[in-house]
Amino acid sequence: MTLPSAADASALLPQLQKIRRSLHRNPEVGLDLPLTQRTVLDALDGLDLDVTTGERLSSVVAVLRGGRREETHAAVLLRGDMDALPIIEETGFDFASDNGAMHACGHDLHTTGLIGAVHLLHAHRADLPGDVVFMFQPGEEGFDGAGKMIDEGVLEAAGVPLVGAYGVHVSADQEPGHAYSRPGSYMAAFSRFDVTVLGRGGHAARPENALDPIEAGAALIGQLQEYITRRFNIFDSVVLTVGMFHGGTAANIIPESAELSISVRTFSPETTARAEEELPRVAREFLAAHGLGARIAFETLLPATVNDDAEAQFFLQTFEDLFGADRVHTVAHPRAGSEDFSRVLRRVPGSYGHLGAAMPGVDAAAQEVNHSPRARHGDDGLGEQALFLAHLAARRLHRELDRSAAGPRS
């Protein structure tokens, strides 16, 4: 197989840095990113690709047809998210944004790295035994852009089955040029749990004639935390935080109701399902025992990001082959943040991981983290990032070729 080389990637680097800095200067938030979409389309212009754009969001899906696609009838998906955050930038970069939004999560690098991967794979498409779907995604930051792209058909874009899906996220506070991932659970599911405690208002001096929603609501918080410690495995944990508790108007009044708004993080689909089922029941039955009613809503907004074991191994091994074992880290624990690429990984075996992107020559661990107005991501690694993504796609398709050559699987 002929694969893109480090020299190919370095040759591309100045152009990628130029694109990244232009995206960084013009960040856009949410699902509608017209300037960003235009930049991507311009960067892909003239290449032999099937390109479509989203209907409900400004996504770009590009499909590269491999010259040897008939030998596998398989495709691999590479994803880069493109949206920024509503943060006033304080990085001091000479290409800093001044429009009230900021690429504080480094999605400008994700977009650009994916553009680089398109170019590297396009130059080697003749030997590619399958197709590659490039998923340029808006709205990762709380807009479920991935779910919307799945609704619009990104997973069927190639017309052949996807056998692998990969994505990377940069970190402003991790070593540049280093990769981090793990098999299995990698990032948390995020669920929102709202409880309105329905009591009966009355005089503060006569609680026996009322049903006090504040007393019961406060006790409920402890009940939920206790239930979690007794009923869930500590190694597949549940993180429950009551972020809002509102009720009452004055010291001498028992109010009619109180409201709790709770966030729940879980790390496996099984635990997410149990939390959905059991925590509302605990709340309802505990409050009923005190004679109170409840209005309850529990919604899982994002599933856990779970890497396929074999694909995570392949992801880490590919990085090691390219850049050396001392730059690859199998992390011990999942990260507690959430990520909508989880929706793709629920349907296609694949792997997600982080790439360090601290500025060169600084103490990475002391840097400001993603989402800080002072988060500074370096872009010297963009060539390597593109090369890594390109190798994930090409090597995975070649592995598929080896498997089909070995005969049909039973």
Question: Which among 65-73, 97-105, 344-352, 390-398 is the span making contact with Zn ion, rule CB under 5 A?
Answer: 97-105
CB-based burial label for 206 (10 Å; 0-12, 13-18, 19+) = exposed
Rounded-to-integer distance, Cα 342 and Cα 338, Å: 8
Q: Is 105 in the site for Zn ion (CB under 5 A)?
A: yes
CB of 133 to Zn ion, least distance (A): 21
CB of 371 to Zn ion, least distance (A): 8
CB of 285 to Zn ion, least distance (A): 38
Q: Which is nearer to Zn ion, 105 or 393 (CB)?
A: 105
CB of 245 to Zn ion, least distance (A): 29
How many of the other CB atoms lie within 10 Å of CB of 358?
26
Could you write out the DSSP letters of every residue in 113-128?
Answer: HHHHHHHHHHHTGGG-
The H or E element spanning position 169 is strand 162-171
CB of 94 to Zn ion, least distance (A): 23
Q: Which is nearer to Zn ion, 201 or 337 (CB)?
A: 337
CB of 44 to Zn ion, least distance (A): 22
Question: Which among 98-106, 177-185, 242-250, 286-294 is the span making contact with Zn ion, rule CB under 5 A?
Answer: 98-106
Q: Which is nearer to Zn ion, 158 or 170 (CB)?
A: 170
CB of 336 to Zn ion, least distance (A): 14
Q: Which is nearer to Zn ion, 105 or 146 (CB)?
A: 105
According to DSSP, the β-strands at 50-53 and 60-65 are antiparallel
Residues 283-342 that bind Zn ion (CB under 5 A): none
Question: Which among 100-108, 119-127, 231-239, 341-349 is the span making contact with Zn ion, rule CB under 5 A?
Answer: 100-108
Question: Which among 85-93, 102-110, 111-119, 222-230 is the span making contact with Zn ion, rule CB under 5 A?
Answer: 102-110
Rounded-to-integer distance, Cα 383 and Cα 40, Å: 17
Rounded-to-integer distance, Cα 122 and Cα 376, Å: 31
**Which one, of 311, 312, 308, lies nearest residue 399 by Cα?**
311
Q: Which is nearer to Zn ion, 142 or 202 (CB)?
A: 142
- The site for Zn ion, by CB under 5 A, has a size of 1
Q: Which is nearer to Zn ion, 105 or 117 (CB)?
A: 105
> What are the percentages of helix, strand and coil residues in the chain, rounded to 5?
40, 25, 35
Question: In sequence order, what are the residues at sequence separation of 6 or more whose Cβ sits closer than 8 angstroms to the Cβ of residue 55?
Answer: 152
* 367 backbone dihedrals φ, ψ, rounded to 5°: -80, 160
Q: Could you list the residues that contact Zn ion (CB under 5 A)?
A: 105
